Amino acid sequence: MLWPLFTLLAVAAATLLVGWTVDQTLQRVAARHPDVPVWPLLRRCRVPLQLVVSTGLLLGLRPLERLLDLHGDTLRHGLLLVLIASLGWLTVRVVAAGIEAGFRRYETTAGDPARVQRVRTQVGMLRRVVSAVIAVVTVAVMLLTFAAMRAIGASLLASAGLLTVVAGIAAQSTLGNFFAGLQIAFGDTVRIGDTVVVEGQQGTVEEITLAYLVVRLWDYRRLILPVSYFVSRPFENWTRKHPGLLAWVVLHLDHTTPVDQLRAALHEQLRATPLWDGDEWSLVVTDTTPTTLVVRAAMTARTTDDAAALRFAVREHLIAYLRDEHPYALPRVRTGEAR
């Protein structure tokens, strides 16, 4: 009776040894080649690899059946199912590591932030699609290990056309979201990190999955929408062509306002603040009324939060500048005697 226990201990020791050896090897290779990001990512495969090794060793052991007091076929079938599931898990981890490593290498060489965002969205969608396909294949292989499933295989194939139609009707919404997700990923309509306006609310795209899209709003709430929404309804994407955002401030000032000096004051403030991305800025008179000038100051920022903070700071600075240096430029209500 002690032999099965020793066998289990030997399997456990061999599994831990294989996991430790692989992990140490990956650490050394990663230290030797720090410019290759795939080796650190492959360390995430340690647990499914150990599970594959342990179940593979147990499948070849007969003493284990006497220890667990189970029928040999039942035990071996259970181990086979665990082995297939572990292989699927390991495959998902290896493929995800390869895809992520490829993206990280591309991210270090690409100079266009907009293109990096687009590739990040496509890589995330590709990883989910590949993981879903591997999961479906793994479950299908596990089901085929049951004799009953193999026996009814012929009848399932004979009625495959009808089942396909029924499944398509039942899963119409799910399939619609799936293909909409692929269209978003490779059609470049919206990407992770984009600033969008949806249902009258502005936010940043935080996550894109095969079924839904998460938009983080300014107050940290999350707006969750089906991905099919973005291929069937109009929405605003403020950063599709350029990752920067345009912030603007509108002031109503007196006709005597020294616009050139105000423009210089704006430029001086922008150069002193890190909120401005250094790309574009302007200060122009956009309109006039019988009593005021309509002055618009525009400047670019990197993110939505920076744009909002820059807009508040510029408005406060310009008003303070006019109050201290040119108080006559602030709007006034003129009164006089009727003639």
Nearest to 208 by CA among 233, 176, 235, 230: 230
Q: Tell me the C-alpha distance between 20 and 160, whole Å.
A: 47
Segment 166-211, tens digit of pLDDT: 444 444 555 566 666 666 666 667 878 788 888 888 788 888 877 7
In this prediction, residue 216 carries a pLDDT of 87
Q: Tell me the C-alpha distance between 24 and 55, whole Å.
A: 22
**pLDDT confidence of 322, banded at 50, 70, 90?**
very high
pLDDT above 90 (res 317):
yes
In this prediction, residue 240 carries a pLDDT of 66
| Residue 180 vs residue 235, higher pLDDT | 235
Token couple for 37: 């990001």
Torsion of CA 124, 130, 135, 137, to 10 degrees: 170
Please give the model's pTM, rounded to 2 decimal places.
0.49
Distances (CA, A) of 140 to 51, 85, 136, 150: 20, 11, 6, 11
Residues 6+ apart with CB under 8 A from 90: 45, 48, 49, 51, 52
Nearest to 95 by CA among 138, 142, 33: 138
Q: Is residue 292 packed enough to be buried (19+ CB in 10 Å), middle (13-18) or exposed (0-12)? A: middle
Token couple for 218: 């300014």
Distances (CA, A) of 322 to 179, 225, 258, 290, 319: 55, 45, 9, 20, 5
Do the beta carbons of residue 85 and residue 158 sit within 8 Å? no
**pLDDT confidence of 236, banded at 50, 70, 90?**
confident
3-state secondary structure of 262: helix
Q: Tell me the C-alpha distance between 121 and 109, whole Å.
A: 17
Segment 126-156, tens digit of pLDDT: 788 788 888 888 887 887 777 766 555 445 4
**pLDDT confidence of 5, banded at 50, 70, 90?**
low
| Residue 71 vs residue 245, higher pLDDT | 245
Q: What is the DSSP letter of 201?
A: E
Phi and psi, residue 238, nearest 5°:
-80, -15
Range with lowest mean pLDDT among 51-55, 144-148, 325-329: 144-148
**pLDDT confidence of 163, banded at 50, 70, 90?**
very low
